[in-house]
Amino acid sequence: MTDFGKQLSPTETPIPGLVYWDLPVHGDSRGWFKENWQREKMVALGLPDFAPVQNNISFNDAVGTTRGIHAEPWDKWVSVAAGRIFGAWVDLREGPSFGTVFTIELDPSRAIFVPRGVGNSYQTLEPDTAYTYLVNDHWSPSASYTFLNLSDETAAIDWPIPLDQVEISAKDLEHPRLADVTPMTPRKTLVLGAGGQLGRALRAEFAEAPEVEFATRDDLDLASAELATARRWRDYGTIINAAAYTAVDAAETPEGRQAAWAANVTGVAALARVAAANGITLVQVSSDYVFDGSSARPYTESDPVAPLGVYGQTKAAGDLAAATAPRHYIVRTSWVIGDGKNFVGTMASLAARGIDPKVVDDQIGRLTFTSDLARGIRHLIQADAPYGVYNLTGAGEPTSWADIARRVFELSGHDPARVTGVTTEEYFASASGPVAPRPRNSVLDLAKIQGSGFEPADASTSLGAYVSGSSDIWWG
């Protein structure tokens, strides 16, 4: 009999992510009513906002009908519309909980959230039982499925009615034992811009993760009209967009302006549409250039953007586009140094060649090394940090470009007094082409990402390791 009068409440199970829910059911002599799935209330209590796209019902007229154990590459919200079942779930995902079993009876007053890769099965305990499930993907012949035999000795499910006395499909009887099951792999991560400075750092950060894929523009064209079907996107859990147009001065030219808007806005908007449609987390790397640099304090994530030049305008517009994906991290950084041509490498080269440079001393910020940026991005994803905007740069005292140049000279065994500080206007006075305006204050407040449990490396310490060629810091 259906249990009336419960409060809506979730209960964890031994299988990570598998949560059963007590549902309020209201009844009288005419029958009963319940809210089988109520997004606002349930998400507030911890149900993943899993965005179902299909509702299925399995009707079973006889007691003892037994189905499963099937694991699909999507999430399910399972409940009973009529009757009663004994449900059994087995974790068939790759990882330490593989093979964990959970069983419980379900009637209309109880439902269960079944995450991707957890095997689902049941046995009817009453005639005319209707078993319902919401799923967040459409069935596809190209999808990867995993199955387990209902009578597997390792799982040792204690079926109320012995399996030799019930109705089971021939196909279910042929499923493998646990020792022969191919585990369901995690949803994949796709890194775009894999050939750039940050892309190479992300390759190193995720080198041991087989579920991470790397792509360049040649591999995936964000401008393609077929982007939405270019891959089976439901198999991906995260897209990290490390691709961008970053030539800030060239962006001030007619050709550069078009290229910057195409890469930094149109491409990001296309990714956001893919992410929103497929429940993917989008990680978008942004810039201090979204601010005009006029603040007397470090910029926080909630400060309004006010970009000065075309590059900054495209990055700010890209942030807005990325934020249309329900699951997004916008990671704002500054003064990036990695594997390739960069300011630190240039200063070290000038020092070695006996050239005494003039370097801007009225722009203030912190260096960010790509190894640290990649580490921080991984932290946000794996820690399930709240979605939103995060500042991520090196830590420590802000400094000027001229002071960094002097430090590079000193670290490489040369006289730092050879570096002469000049204003931005003086530095670009003899420029032959367009010059983009630069923010004078590029210091980003790090309190939010520190509050998430990530501690950025000290920029000065990282600089010392970089110049000395330390193996864990990219050398350009």
Active site residues: 70, 133
How far lies 308's CA from each of 292, 317, 433, 450, in Å?
6, 13, 18, 28
Tokens linked to 230: 């270019």
- Is residue 53 within 8 Å of 63, Cβ to Cβ? no
Q: Which of 96, 141, 102, 138 is nearest to 119 (CA)?
A: 102
Tokens linked to 200: 């190479």
- Is residue 91 within 8 Å of 100, Cβ to Cβ? yes
How far lies 425's CA from each of 45, 184, 263, 309, in Å?
56, 58, 29, 16
- Is residue 95 within 8 Å of 11, Cβ to Cβ? no
* Residue 300 DSSP code: P
Burial-class residue 210 by CB neighbours within 10 Å (0-12, 13-18, 19+).
Answer: exposed
- Kind of pairing, strands 388-391 and 328-333? parallel
Distance CA 271, CA 194 (A): 16
Ramachandran region, residue 293 (left: φ > 0; alpha: ψ -120 to 50; beta: rest): left
Return the CA Rg of the chain: 28
Distance CA 465, CA 34 (A): 62
Distance CA 291, CA 302 (A): 11
SS3 428: helix
- Kind of pairing, strands 368-369 and 336-337? parallel
Per-residue DSSP letters for 86-137? EEEEEE-BSSTTTT-EEEEEE-TTEEEEE-TTEEEEEEESSSSEEEEEEESS
Q: How many CA atoms lie within 13 A of 140 on its CB side?
A: 14
SS3 397: coil
Q: Report the DSSP beta bridge partners of residue 364.
A: 400, 441
Tokens linked to 99: 């093979």
CA 255 to chain CA mean position, Å: 32
